[in-house]
Amino acid sequence: MSIRINPNILPDLLLSLAQSKQNASTATQQLATGRSVNQLSDNPSAAATLVGNHDQAGQDGQFLQNINSLNTKFQVADSTLSNVVQVLTRAISIGTEGANGTLSAADRQAIAGEVQGLLSQLVGLANTAYQGTFLFAGTAVTTQPFTLDTTTNAVTYNGNTGVTSVQLSNGNSINTNVPGSQLFLNGAGNAFGALQNLNSALLSGNGIGAAVSQLGTALSQISTQRVFYGNALNQVNLSENFLNQDKVNLSTQENALVGVDPAKAASDLVQAQTANQATLSATGRILSLPTLLDFLK
């Protein structure tokens, strides 16, 4: 005797209808959102990895913002120092002119006047501010770092020697400033002191040559320090490239984790719809099959 089968096949049909509908709805959702993972339970480990991915992308975004602001700051500092170099070069050139013994005292005084002007220009440059903070004040960024005593021509440094560092990317930090004292009042080449000396030498007519050579030392000192900003700009650009690449990598990873293959989702949808229709038509036929009762008279 054969096994008696369940005469009520409706639950089986309904289950398979529900399944094909579920498949169609999943495929539709994937196509609509462009994602194969729309809930944590769709793929728990992908969802957990996605948390780290989004965090890293968010951090990269912030690092890029930081870099953007640092970049401008470094450019401002670098071009300021380039102006400083011009000022000192000009001072050396007129100092050399002043060292010429044929000049009269009046001529030297006129040159000394220009040197005085260069000195205040240098003070102005050394007090350059970017977005409300002084670039060469160490960490005392809200204090004007250099003041010029107009009677004695003495320059005072009001900043400090603090150096700050900022992260350019995870685990990669960069120093962001050179204190003004190190730039302009450096023992190895004091720009302010040299200008002051040149000024007094021109006025007195003595030691002009020595003052000019002092200026030369100060100039080479500034140029040495300026390398810091050049390097910093390079590093910032490198980090920017790295971060932009990282963002691309992260978005590729995200796509691999939770993205959907549109062709596959579309074919899943068609398959589910076909299955659904086939089941429906089968259900219709099976439910309207005649029974033995229909043949009894």
Q: Which residues bind other proteins (CB under 8 A)?
A: 3-8, 11-12, 15, 35, 37-45, 47-52, 54-55, 58-59, 61-63, 65-66, 69-70, 131-133, 137-143, 160, 162, 164-167, 170-171, 173, 176-177, 258, 291-293, 296
Residue 101 Cβ vs other proteins, minimum distance, rounded to whole Å:
48
Residue 237 Cβ vs other proteins, minimum distance, rounded to whole Å:
16
| Contact predicate 156/149, CB 8 Å | yes
Q: Which run of H or E residues covers position 205?
A: none
Residue 5 Cβ vs other proteins, minimum distance, rounded to whole Å:
6
Q: Answer left, alpha or beta for residue 34, where phi above 0 means left and psi between -120 and 50 means alpha.
A: left
Nearer to other proteins, 5 or 263 (CB): 5
Instruction: Write out the E strands in 103-205.
Output: 129-130, 133-134, 146-148, 155-157, 165-169, 172-175, 185-186, 189-190
DSSP for residue 128: -
Nearer to other proteins, 34 or 284 (CB): 34
Residue 79 Cβ vs other proteins, minimum distance, rounded to whole Å:
20
Q: Which run of H or E residues covers position 27?
A: helix 10-33
Q: Whole-angstrom Cα distance, residue 236 to residue 173?
A: 10
Residue 196 Cβ vs other proteins, minimum distance, rounded to whole Å:
26
Residue 52 Cβ vs other proteins, minimum distance, rounded to whole Å:
6
3-state secondary structure of 142: coil
Nearer to other proteins, 56 or 200 (CB): 56
Nearer to other proteins, 35 or 226 (CB): 35
Residue 297 Cβ vs other proteins, minimum distance, rounded to whole Å:
11
Nearer to other proteins, 143 or 213 (CB): 143
Nearer to other proteins, 22 or 89 (CB): 22
3-state secondary structure of 218: helix
Residue 127 Cβ vs other proteins, minimum distance, rounded to whole Å:
15
Nearer to other proteins, 133 or 234 (CB): 133
Q: Whole-angstrom Cα distance, residue 101 to residue 5?
A: 125
Tokens 């659904």 locate to 276
Nearer to other proteins, 9 or 188 (CB): 9
Instruction: Write out the E strands in 137-208.
Output: 146-148, 155-157, 165-169, 172-175, 185-186, 189-190
Q: Whole-angstrom Cα distance, residue 138 to residue 14?
A: 77
**Rg from Cα positions in the chain:** 39
Q: Which run of H or E residues covers position 147?
A: strand 146-148
Contacts of 196 (CB under 8 A, 6+ apart): 119, 153, 154, 155
